[in-house]
Structure 1
């Protein structure tokens, strides 16, 4: 199911560990993000999704593998990725 932001093409604010990140609608994720996920290169996927500035903010406060997985779960839920 598409979210309202998917319909308008605007980024969704994802709150994670006290910070806010802007994530594009799932249908607008760059193919580099999906290829990195397919190749299990999750840090590369996150950098492709967030861009350098937001990625640096994420890395400054999130240091564990579990943080990376939790962020993708939160972002996916926020933008409706994986919903049918």
Structure 2
């Protein structure tokens, strides 16, 4: 899925959806409507940084490809 010219890649077993608050991106687990990650937009550099996340996921941002990848955290 794409949001603000950034590709959101889901590598988890969760069904996720994305919402936005201004230019910030909120990644939400569909079944429970719980927030998995909150990415804050830096308008000067046009990049996203992880502001909040839950322990269930790892979020990787790639500023060159303009992609955000969500991985399931398998570590205990």
Question: What is the TM-score normalised by the length of structure 1?
Answer: 0.29
The structure whose RCO (Cα within 8 Å, separation 6+) is larger is 1
Question: What is the TM-score normalised by the length of structure 2?
Answer: 0.30
Q: Identify the structure with the greater strand proportion.
A: 2
Q: Identify the structure with the greater helix proportion.
A: 1
